């Protein structure tokens, strides 16, 4: 076989539609844009324009605000930690930090830290250092003989 004998499979490629190339093409004259008006011309950007009527985003009431200083914690449940320990993804004898939880796949992108929640059961004795924990999660970990260190509280006391 030579290079000049190579070809695509039948139907693998399709020619692009050439608009505005005569009425016989089926896409001639108006080029599939209909007739007249602003939208038939190039350079049109009328997102949200409703023909002079008051647009819906101005008619509807606005409520609430976005707090720019909010903290976004990655949640992790004690049941998930126990499952990771059972699956040998986390060593229960070592200190468990946000990086350890991320390496085990329990949390995704850590933004402002990790917060432990109490869903599920924990039986392993663990020493965990996180940025937040619910009271129920702390109680569950301490009932299993573990210890929870909340890093954010230490930062607040230092300031």
Residue, of 18 and 45, whose pLDDT is higher: 18
60 with 79, same domain: the answer is no
pLDDT score for 147: 92
Same domain, yes or no: 85 and 55:
no
Whether residue 57 has pLDDT greater than 60: yes
Q: Are residues 82 and 26 in the same domain?
A: no
User: What pLDDT is recorded for position 140?
Assistant: 94
Judge if 52 and 88 occupy the same domain: no
Among residues 64, 94, 120, which one ends one of the domains? 64
Output the pLDDT for position 64: 93
Where are the strands (E) in the chain, listed by range?
Answer: 74-77, 95-96, 114-117, 127-130, 132-133, 147-150
At which of 27, 44, 64 does a domain end?
64
Position 159 scores a pLDDT of 47
- Domain extent at residue 52: 19-64
Q: Is the pLDDT of residue 158 over 50?
A: no
**Do 40 and 79 belong to one domain?**
no
CA distance 115 to 80: 13
Count of CB atoms situated within 10 Å of the CB of 57: 9
Write down the pLDDT at residue 152: 63
Predicted pLDDT at 51 = 81
Whether residue 138 sits in one domain with residue 103: yes
State the average pLDDT for the chain: 89
Q: How many domains does the chain have?
A: 2
Same domain? 46 vs 108: no
Q: Say if residue 98 is in the same domain as residue 120.
A: yes
* Residue 138 placed within a domain: yes
Segment 57-86 mean pLDDT: 93
* Whether residue 156 has pLDDT greater than 90: no
CATH code for the domain of 79: 3.100.10.10
The model's pTM: 0.58
98 sits in which H/E element: helix 98-103
If asked whether residues 109 and 35 sit together in one domain, one would say no
Per-residue pLDDT, 6: 95
Q: Answer yes or no: do 78 and 57 share one domain.
A: no
Please report whether residue 143 resides in a domain. Answer: yes
Do 60 and 131 belong to one domain? no
In percent, how much of the chain has pLDDT > 70?
95
Residue 105 domain flag: yes
Asked whether residue 4 is domain-assigned, the answer is no
- pLDDT tens by residue, 76-91: 999 999 999 999 998 9
Task: Answer yes or no: do 98 and 143 share one domain.
Answer: yes
Q: pLDDT tens for residues 99-125?
A: 999 999 999 999 899 999 999 999 989
CA angle 73, 78, 82 (to 5 degrees): 130
């Amino acid at each position: 076989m030579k290079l000049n004998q190579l070809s695509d499979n039948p139907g693998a490629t399709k020619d692009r539609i050439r608009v505005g190339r005569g009425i016989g093409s089926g896409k001639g004259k108006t080029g599939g844009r209909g007739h007249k008006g602003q939208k038939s011309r190039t350079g049109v950007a009328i997102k949200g324009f409703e023909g002079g009527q008051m647009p819906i985003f101005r008619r509807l009431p606005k409520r609430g605000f976005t707090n720019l200083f909010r903290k976004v914690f990655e949640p992790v449940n004690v049941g998930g930690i126990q499952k990771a320990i059972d699956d040998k993804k986390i060593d229960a004898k070592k200190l468990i930090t946000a990086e350890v939880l991320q390496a085990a796949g329990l949390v995704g992108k850590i933004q402002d830290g990790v917060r432990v929640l109490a869903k599920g059961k924990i039986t392993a004795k663990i020493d965990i250092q996180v940025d937040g924990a619910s009271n129920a999660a702390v109680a569950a970990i301490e009932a299993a003989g573990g210890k929870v260190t909340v890093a954010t509280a230490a930062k607040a006391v230092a300031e």
